[in-house]
Amino acid sequence: MRLLRLARNDKKGIISGKSLFIQLMVYCSLLIAHGSLLCSDSALAKLNIVATTPDLGAIAKEIGGDKVDVKSLARPTEDPHFVDARPSFITILNKADVLIEGGAMLEAGWLPPLIEGARNKKIQIGSAGRVIGSDGITLIQVPTTLDRAMGDIHPMGNPHYLLDPLNGKVVAQHICDTLCKLDAASCPHFQTNLEGFSRKIDEKMVEWRKLTALFKGTKVVTYHKSYDYFLERFGLELVDTLEPKPGIPPSPTHINALIPRMNEDGVKAIIIEPNKEKKTPEFIAEKTGAKVLVLPGTVGGNEETEDYISLFDYNLAQLAAAIGGGH
């Protein structure tokens, strides 16, 4: 607004703030068109990155650093399958240079109409600015036949792969490749950030494996099939989920059959995400002696999970304290 006012008050023919900015942008565009990148750091705007979920947004921040602005659409406490699609999302997507989605149908229930409404060529499928996180990830539970008629919301396999930190490294690489294409001058910066992020995960993995070795093989149940990659990576055994199928609420028949199985198997914990109702897990806990553990499924669910690494620090510490492997 200040720039606009400056431009209107300019009656002496001196270059106003707004026109100076436009001229700079034109000048920089010309330089870039001629292969020079002199202006990219100083005058060009930061890349606008929109991530569908906070974990994707957190990884984008790690790689983009101060060269990017990142907005995440889903709130940390929202179920990523059922995000409340606010009208402001269309405006945000309209201005995006990059859209990072989880893929594997994670956002199938809410994202497609928003992208259509945003009318932004930069983020269409196949455009340089569209990152599909699941590309290059080995998805688990990929069905042999499509079964959406039964209400399964994982028709392409399990889309919660970011709860394995090693998959976070793969997504970080995708994001780095995309940012390098869109802002070549800042590519060394992105690559340095990627190396730092990957190294941090590798170092942390040593610590996390040491901690989880104490409760390797412990049997748990979860509400939704959200923690499968996490449990597999850290050596815990999933007995079943409270949902009979992903996205189908727990039924009395399913729960009544699950309780004796949990007792037989000696299940120690019922892991749920903050967005799930607690009545059913608490009822089962009473019947089985298993502890209800609320573990954030994404970054920012609470103060302790402000970035991708701390999400694992927090969740693994909670698990260790609850199932007896803690110090």
* Residues making contact with Zn ion (CB under 5 A): 246
CB of 64 to Zn ion, least distance (A): 27
Cα–Cα dist 285/259, whole Å: 9
- Rank residues 32 and 156 by Cβ distance to Zn ion and give the closer one: 156
CB of 117 to Zn ion, least distance (A): 25
- Rank residues 104 and 316 by Cβ distance to Zn ion and give the closer one: 104
CB of 296 to Zn ion, least distance (A): 15
- Rank residues 46 and 254 by Cβ distance to Zn ion and give the closer one: 254
Q: Rounded to the nearest 5°, which phi and psi values hold at 207? A: -65, -45
Give me the residue whose beta carbon is nearest to Zn ion.
246
Q: What type of residue sits at position 27?
A: Y
Half-sphere exposure of 52 (CA within 13 A, CB side): 29
- Rank residues 81 and 169 by Cβ distance to Zn ion and give the closer one: 81
Which of these, 140, 134, 120, lies nearest to 230 by C-alpha position? Answer: 140
**H-assigned helices in 223-298:** 228-233, 252-265, 279-288
Which of these, 90, 87, 83, 53, lies nearest to 70 by C-alpha position? Answer: 53
Enter the tokens of residue 72.
């995440």
Residue with tokens 């436009």: 22
**Contacts with 267 (C-beta within 8 Å, 6 or more apart), sequence order:** 219, 220, 221, 239, 288, 290
CB of 298 to Zn ion, least distance (A): 12
- Rank residues 227 and 308 by Cβ distance to Zn ion and give the closer one: 227
CB of 107 to Zn ion, least distance (A): 11
